[in-house]
Amino acid sequence: MPQIPPDASTILVVITAAGRGTRAGDGPPKQWRDLGGKPVLAHTLAAFAGLPVVLTIHPEDRALAEAIAPGVPLVEGGRTRAESIRNALEAMAGKGFTRVLIHDGARPLTSPALIARLIAALDEAPAAAPALAVTDALWRGRDGRVMGLQPRDGLFRAQTPQAFHFDAILAAHRADRQGTAADDVELARAAGLDVLIVGGEEDNLKLTFPGDFARAEAILARRTGAPAMDVRMGNGYDVHAFTEGDHVWLCGVKIAHDRGLLGHSDADVGMHALTDAIYGALAMGDIGRHFPPSDPQWKGAASHIFLSHAVKSAAGQGYRIGNCDVTLVCERPKIGPHAAAMQEALARIIGCDPARISVKATTSERLGFTGREEGIAALATAVLVKE
Ligand SMILES: Nc1ccn([C@@H]2O[C@H](COP(=O)(O)OP(=O)(O)OP(=O)(O)O)[C@@H](O)[C@H]2O)c(=O)n1
Ligand SMILES: C[C@](O)(CO)[C@H](O)COP(=O)(O)O
């Protein structure tokens, strides 16, 4: 297998990351979005570790670029990909580089083996680029209808990095008047350069549309051995004593009763246990940490505020609630007739299907504080899922 040559100091890498990623949906430009815990561009840079790099950036992204690529020369990009790359080549001209790899910042999963194959190919030709043969049938279509077949023989899907003799590709860029080329091979061909096709890699995808991120996460998880799905579990336990009153709140449902539950908030013991289970799964402590009982603003507060906060915290970390199970321990009131309403109420707050929420109850056979009807205890388990 080809290796990156030990003296690679004359091989420049241009990573172009000045685009705005308009097709990738809402949020920051795709090269700055998170992929497996760090920005996409940090992965791209890591793939070329050991080689000198120049990075093209959008002027608004300078601080972000300096943070993830300290010491890497930054060049402002242009209106198009081709202009951005030309700016980088011009900035690095005359600095002793003989070969250059030109790569999309939005392709974070390039392998060292592919990079080595491309560098080796430059011994045989002034240009080499990775590509995959088209394997699906190709159609021509119009207005949602198939109009004809397109022979796929000899058709390839182009990837980057694209590798060139430095002076040859710089001259090709200088000769280009439009600045609209899809890639550097197009310019190399226009300048008459012979371009070798090197086998590309399916994993070397370019992040273009929102769905590409999930694919890249899965590839990354496979490479690092991390599970593709992150599952977390937490449990919660709470107790509230009975006091004078004529109703209790349990799992978001008001139930008439000959006693009330004592608490700083509405004392919904079931919802508190569930909230703690979610915080537990996130390793975020318990309700008391987020809503201190010493804070008067939570006096008499409706407990859905606490549960909503826990669910939002989970969502903020990329988790959805997989399922929950709440057990209420009391002799009275009887829970069975209210269990379905409780599941509905919790599901509404969580924003999930009620079928993912279980509420059940047990007595403690008249034993202990719950058996003596001094209070109600609740236990809950929550499973959080990140895909
Ligand atoms: N003026 C530009 C436009 C694009 N690029 C870079 O070229 C690569 C491939 O382009 P593309 O996937 O089209 O990225 P964007 O232009 O950012 O995306 P979109 O077309 O969806 O806006 C990306 O790494 C992108 O940052 C660049 O450096 N300068
Ligand atoms: C250069 C490139 O990655 C080759 O496949 C691609 O052409 C650039 O992205 P775009 O989606 O065509 O702008």
Q: How far is CA 55 from the centre of its chain?
A: 23
Closest ligand to Cα 55: 1
Q: Minimum-distance ligand to the CA of 102?
A: 2
Measured in Å, residue 20 CA sits from the centre of ligand 1 at 6
Q: Whose structure tokens read 């390039």?
A: 110
- Residue 24: its pLDDT value, please? 94
Q: What is the pLDDT along the chain (387 residues), one digit of tens a residue?
A: 566 676 788 999 999 999 999 999 888 999 999 998 899 999 999 999 999 999 999 999 999 999 999 999 999 999 999 999 999 999 999 999 999 999 999 999 999 999 999 999 999 999 999 999 999 999 999 999 999 999 999 999 999 999 999 999 999 999 999 999 999 999 999 999 999 999 999 999 999 999 999 999 999 988 887 766 789 999 999 999 999 999 999 999 999 999 999 998 899 999 999 999 999 999 999 999 999 988 888 888 899 999 999 999 999 988 999 999 999 999 999 999 999 999 999 999 999 999 999 999 999 999 999 999 999 999 999 999 987
183 CA distance to ligand 2 centroid (A)? 6
Task: Check residue 381 and give its pLDDT.
Answer: 98
Which of 320, 130, 275 is closest to 206 using CA atoms?
A: 130
Residues with CB under 6 A from ligand 2: 81, 104, 158-160, 182-183, 206, 208
- Nearest residue to 9 via CA among 102, 127, 97: 97
CA distances from 119 to 113, 230, 349 (A): 10, 38, 56
* Substitution site in 20, 54, 157 for ligand 1 pocket (most atoms within 8 Å of beta carbon): 20
Element (H, E) at 253: strand 253-256
This prediction has a pTM of 0.68
CB 113 within 8 A of CB 4: no
| Mutational pocket test of ligand 1: of 26, 104, 184, 186, the residue with most ligand atoms within 8 Å of the beta carbon | 104
Say which CATH topology domain 230-386 has: 60s Ribosomal Protein L30; Chain: A; (3.30.1330)
- What number is the ipTM of this complex? 0.95
Please tell me whether residue 141 adopts helix, strand or coil conformation. Answer: strand
Question: Domain residues of the chain, as ranges?
Answer: 11-224, 230-386
Task: Please report, for residues 70, 134, 140, the alpha-carbon distance to residue 146 in angstroms, rounded to integers and kept in the order given.
Answer: 51, 18, 6
Atom of ligand 1 nearest to the CA of 85: 28
147 torsion bin: left (phi>0), alpha (psi -120 to 50), beta (else): alpha
- Contacts of residue 129, Cβ cutoff 8 Å, sequence gap at least 6: 118, 158, 159, 160, 161, 162, 163, 183, 184, 185, 195, 196, 197, 198
**Using a 6 Å CB cutoff, which residues line ligand 1?**
16-24, 31, 56, 77-81, 84, 104-106, 206, 208
Instruction: Name the CA radius of gyration of the chain, rounded.
Output: 30
Query: Which residue in the block uniquely carries the two structure tokens 């539950």?
Result: 261
Which pLDDT value is given to residue 141?
A: 96
Annotated binding site: 238-240, 264-265, 272, 286-288, 362-365, 369, 372
| Domain topology for 11-224 | Spore Coat Polysaccharide Biosynthesis Protein SpsA; Chain A (3.90.550)
Q: What's the gap in Å between 84 CA and the centre of ligand 1?
A: 9
